[in-house]
A and B are shown apart, each in its own frame.
Chain A
Amino acid sequence: MTSPRASFIAGLKNTVPLLIGAAPFGIIYGVIATGVGIPVVMAQAISLIVFAGSAQFIAAQLIGAGASGLVIVFTTFIVNLRHALYSASMAPHLRDLPRSWKWVLSYLLTDEAFAVAITHYRDNAGEPNRHWYFLGAGIALWATWQASTAVGIFLGTEIPHDWSLDFTLALSFIALLVPVLRTRADIVAALVGGIVAVAGFGLPYKLGLIVAAFCGIGAGMLAWRLAK
């Protein structure tokens, strides 16, 4: 049996490769957030309170575009819905933990933490201290995200606008998007979502994104049904 301490440290260590990817992402978020005029304290608070990279990028962009509060909240909700899948996958493994553990681990359940944790849980069935491993991975990612946000906020006030750094938003989504296009139905969902978003760009309050998300999901479901 691995001790809690050893599990925690193993979790920290095995997350290091992911930190190298997460840190630039956090820096870019900080740069974009201050670039669109979000106050410094709020830009950092968003990393603490929301703690979800992609959603923070979008929220920053929407705030900059002057979207309404409801649209920002709803869009964040939609962009973060995929975490319900992570929650469902982790739930059976965390069933017997005390409530405080469940709450802390849920707060730390990002894309990267999920990827690290679920692999560890699957490969180490029956090991009693696996939640310490998850905690170690989660804290490593959390600390890196907060620190890199702070660096980005600091740099954000220094970097000139004509460097077009806001384009990194689209680029990071391209990098995340392309690998999730596994089936034909995924591609249909993506194409319909994208086309509706472009067509609905002029809709008030940036509602186009939400309409596009629902159309894309619906089209994906339809394509999946027809392919069966």
Chain B
Amino acid sequence: MNLWLVVIVAGALTFLIRLSFIALLANWQLPPLLQRALGFVPPAVMTAIVLPELLIREGHLAASLDNHRLIAGMVAILVAWRFKKIMPTIVVGMTALWLLQWLGP
């Protein structure tokens, strides 16, 4: 598929999601079960994005201490859990990765 078409369709869908209850379904109540399911979208999707980024290196599972991204990611998880702020998490995580790359093989 042409990449421009992909961008436009993705943008249109995003807009329609935002418009959904405000303009399109203004008189429709979200069923409680669907509302509950939507609530699980952020944890399910975000972990599905993050975990392969940490655990898979060059197409293979790399659950070892030589995996710098895994260690730096775990440091970042601790920072995110303790401080609940975006920038400190990114800064500490990046610093950890650079340190490991600099010290490691």
Residues of A within 8 A of B (CB): 21, 24-25, 28, 42, 45-46, 49-52, 54-55, 58-59, 63, 68-70, 72-73, 76-88, 90-91, 94-95, 99, 102-103, 105-107, 109, 164-165, 167-181, 185-187, 189-198, 201-202, 208-209, 212-213, 215-217, 219-221, 224
A23 to chain B, nearest CB (A): 10
A173 to B86: give the CA distance in the assembly, Å.
9
How far apart are the CA atoms of A59 and B14 in the complex, in Å?
13
In the assembled complex, which residues on chain A have CB atoms less than 8 Å from the CB atom of B4?
42
Q: Is the interface of A mostly helix, strand, loop or mixed?
A: helix
In contact, B22 and A174 (Cβ under 8 angstroms): no
Minimum CB–CB distance from A77 to chain B (whole Å) comes to 5
Interfacial chain B residues near A105, Cβ < 8 Å: 22
Cα–Cα distance between A94 and B25 once the two chains are bound (Å): 13
A-B contacts, 10 listed (Cβ < 8 Å): A24-B90, A28-B90, A46-B11, A77-B10, A99-B23, A167-B97, A170-B69, A173-B46, A179-B84, A216-B45
Sample of 4 more A-B contacts, CB < 8 Å, known A46-B7, A72-B6, A189-B40: A69-B1, A73-B9, A197-B52, A217-B40
Contact indicator B73/A174 (Cβ below 8 Å): yes
Determine if B17 and A77 form an interchain contact, defined as CB atoms under 8 angstroms apart: yes
- CB pair A73–B13 under 8 Å, yes or no, is yes
Shortest A83–chain B CB gap in Å is: 5
Instruction: Among A94, A107, A181, A189, find the residue whose CB has the most chain B CB atoms closer than 10 A.
Output: A189
* Alpha-carbon gap, A45 to B11, bound state (A): 10
Asked if A172 and B90 sit within 8 Å, CB to CB, the answer is yes
Q: From A54, which residue of chain B is reached at the shortest CB distance?
A: B46
Which residue from chain B places its CB closest to the CB of A69 in the assembled complex?
B1
Which chain B residues lie closer than 8 Å to A212 at the CB level?
44, 48
Q: Which residue of A lies closest to B23 (CB)?
A: A102
C-alpha gap A222/B96 in the complex (Å): 37
1/0 per residue, CB under 8 A from A, across B52-88: the answer is: 1111100101000000010011001100110011110
A49 to B16, CA, bound (A): 12
Which residue in A50, A175, A197 is a CB contact (below 8 Å) of B76? Answer: A175
Chain B residues with CB under 8 Å of A82's CB are 38, 41-42
Top 7 closest pairs, chain A to chain B, by CB: A216-B44, A69-B1, A49-B11, A220-B40, A194-B51, A193-B44, A194-B47
With A77-B10, A78-B41 already in contact, the answer to whether A177 and B94 are too (CB < 8 A) is no
Q: In the complex, what residue of chain A is closest to B16 when comparing beta carbons?
A: A106
